[in-house]
Amino acid sequence: MHFRKGFAVFAVMILSVAMVFAGGSGESAASDSKSVEVWRISNPDEKIIAAFDQVAADFQAATGIEVSYVLVPTNDFHTKLVTSISAGVFPDVIIWNSNPGIEFANTGKVHPVNDILEEVGMDQFGESIIKMFEVDDVIYEAPFMVRPAGMHARRDWLEAAGYDLTMKTDENGKYYIEGLETWEDLLEAGVKITDAANGKYGLGFPMSRKAFGDSAGFCFSVIASYGGKVLDDEGNLAIDTPEMRAAIQYLIDLWNSGAVPSAATTWDGNSNNQFFLTGDIGIVCNSNSIMGKLNAESAVKPEQLIMLPLPKGPTGHGYQQATPESITIFETANVANAEEFVKYLLNTETQLKMFETMGFGYYSPLKKDVINDPMFADLSDNEKVLLNSGDQYISASFPGEPDARLTQLYSAFFYDDILSHIAVDGWNVDQIIDEMEKVASEMLFS
């Protein structure tokens, strides 16, 4: 009896200890010296999966370091990263397009990549791209590739509305189409091709929190093109400016025009693409996931698609919020392996091999050596427009230096809510500017 009781007590103790151990130690999960854990966005495209898998296999064959990918859905990436970092669990490397290195720089856990980029060749990337990831001369993220975003439009609808869609080139080598150069032109075109009675709408811009990324990106692109900004050069709040007011007024006019379906206030990240592909929307602004889905069987045929150059604002410039996919290394036990892997990813040969497998489209190269490779000489007209817009992509800190607070503001529905206030609440410019100032002041300065 005593033996059994003692045994039971012993078992209970073992269980207790096991449970405590199971609770985790809070230390970084990475400790194996022959592996590296890489988080990246999960993408169902088999070509992209194959390209990344091939890189991992080749890298392991060359170095003996095993790469384990953790695939995270786009919508969950930020939450997963924040909660993991809060719990003290850092991935070795993440490949993502939302400035995580800048956002988490203050934690002291982001490994600078200056040395790696020096080794790869800093001049390969272009100053504006490096600036997206640099704070006080420390570069926190390595530019990898970019998911090119652009205006996908129905060629047949626009032609039927009387547009001549001949692509022209200006003195700076930028493409343009007469009559479709500015945001105002785009709105006019959107109204012309809208046929609401038959369920056809000209413009498919999401105006919803659920379309995180797409709605914020669209709103931010308009504001940047109009010259609006949140902070001035001294870092003070500078929301209430004529430029910002003009941008907000444009967004209000856009909504009131009826060219955007009212359902856009509840769209998720896929909706605008989906409705473009089903033939219900004439123009959508999105990353390039549409081009690859058009074929002879689809409702919209490949020849019915035309990529429009990014529309300009009154500043004479057109921008698109599309932070390049970057590589961030965290200070884990595997930092040396992570550095090796990042160097391997940034290698020109590796990148050419990846593009050979996955093709141009969903990802575009950033390195000059890669862009200038003969592989990219024979692009389609639509692909050329995307490549031509490459230097118009901006981060959430634009026009200033990278600022973690502005990145957070972007992620915190700040721009999505501007659109919601216009579409759902029917607010005017003054109300929206007041709310923007209140929210930004709270988020940036408290």
Given the complex with other proteins, which of 266 and 289 has the nearer CB atom?
266
State the residue for tokens 């809070």: 26
Q: Does 107 bind other proteins (CB under 8 A)?
A: yes
Given the complex with other proteins, which of 5 and 171 has the nearer CB atom?
5
Cα 126 versus chain centre, distance: 19
Q: Which of 135, 137, 116, 117 lies closest to 126, judged by CA? A: 117
Alpha-carbon span 211 to 189, nearest angstrom: 24
Interacting positions 242-301 with other proteins (CB under 8 A): 261-263, 265-266, 268, 275, 280
Q: Does 44 bind other proteins (CB under 8 A)?
A: no
User: Shortest gap between Cβ of 142 and other proteins (angstroms)?
Assistant: 20
Take residue 426 and report the two structure tokens written for it: 């029917």
Contact string 316-355 vs other proteins (x = CB under 8 A) = ----------------------------------------
Interacting positions 181-220 with other proteins (CB under 8 A): 199, 208-210, 212
**Do residues 39 and 72 make contact, with C-beta atoms less than 8 angstroms apart?**
yes
User: Shortest gap between Cβ of 412 and other proteins (angstroms)?
Assistant: 5
**Do residues 231 and 406 make contact, with C-beta atoms less than 8 angstroms apart?**
yes
Q: Which of 178, 182, 154 lies closest to 165, judged by CA? A: 178
State the residue for tokens 């007011």: 245
Phi-psi region of 22 (alpha: psi -120 to 50; beta: other; left: phi over 0): alpha
Q: Does 140 bind other proteins (CB under 8 A)?
A: no
Q: Does 26 bind other proteins (CB under 8 A)?
A: yes
Q: Does 376 bind other proteins (CB under 8 A)?
A: no
Alpha-carbon span 324 to 409, nearest angstrom: 18
Contact string 57-96 vs other proteins (x = CB under 8 A) = ---------------------xx--xx-xx----------
Q: Does 8 bind other proteins (CB under 8 A)?
A: yes
Take residue 55 and report the two structure tokens written for it: 């890189």
Q: Does 441 bind other proteins (CB under 8 A)?
A: no
Take residue 391 and report the two structure tokens written for it: 């230097």
User: Shortest gap between Cβ of 135 and other proteins (angstroms)?
Assistant: 13
Given the complex with other proteins, which of 217 and 365 has the nearer CB atom?
217
Q: Which of 218, 237, 228 lies closest to 405, judged by CA? A: 237
Q: Which of 141, 139, 446, 167 lies closest to 323, judged by CA? A: 141
State the residue for tokens 């529309």: 311
The CB density around residue 196, as the number of other CB atoms within 10 Å, is 12
Q: Does 2 bind other proteins (CB under 8 A)?
A: no
User: Shortest gap between Cβ of 49 and other proteins (angstroms)?
Assistant: 23
Residues at the interface with other proteins (CB under 8 A): 5, 8-9, 12-13, 15-17, 19-21, 23, 25-27, 78-79, 82-83, 85-86, 103-104, 106-108, 199, 208-210, 212, 261-263, 265-266, 268, 275, 280, 404, 408, 411-413, 420, 423-425, 438, 442-443, 446
